[in-house]
Amino acid sequence: DAGVIQSPRHEVTEMGQEVTLRCKPISGHNSLFWYRQTMMRGLELLIYFNNNVPIDDSGMPEDRFSAKMPNASFSTLKIQPSEPRDSAVYFCASSPGPHGYTFGSGTRLTVV
């Protein structure tokens, strides 16, 4: 089991550019979550999917953020256009049920 795989591990981009973060959940896990972690706000849930369907996107900060899960093995989080305040670590996590999440290693995004 390779765990939850996120890519890239680090991303540095210029303000205004489009950024796409990728996540491959653990096979068989039917729930997928995107979190953002910053020093100021801690861990914030952005959106989560059950069986590839978005269930709650109320944490998505604004329309610049979008997430998709076209199939059970892949999800993306896109920021367009990116801004310096989007700089954070973005985590993807998957879960087979009510027990603990398995987190990916995170993507550290820096927008300059």
Partner 1 sequence: AQTVTQSQPEMSVQEAETVTLSCTYDTSESDYYLFWYKQPPSRQMILVIRQEAYKQQNATENRFSVNFQKAAKSFSLKISDSQLGDAAMYFCAYRSAVAGNQFYFGTGTSLTVIP
Question: How many other β-carbons are positioned within 10 Å of the β-carbon of residue 35?
Answer: 22
Smallest CA-to-CA distance from 90 within 52, 61, 63, 51 is with: 61
Smallest CA-to-CA distance from 45 within 32, 34, 54 is with: 34
Residue from the set 12, 15, 17, 43 that interacts with partner 1 by CB under 8 A: 43
Q: What are phi and psi of 86, to 5 degrees?
A: -80, -10
Of 52 and 105, which CB lies nearer to partner 1 in the complex structure?
Answer: 105
31 binds partner 1 (CB under 8 A): yes
48 binds partner 1 (CB under 8 A): yes
Of 55 and 112, which CB lies nearer to partner 1 in the complex structure?
Answer: 55
Site residues, partner 1 (CB under 8 A): 31, 33, 42-43, 45, 48, 50, 55-56, 89, 91, 93, 95, 98-103, 105-106, 108
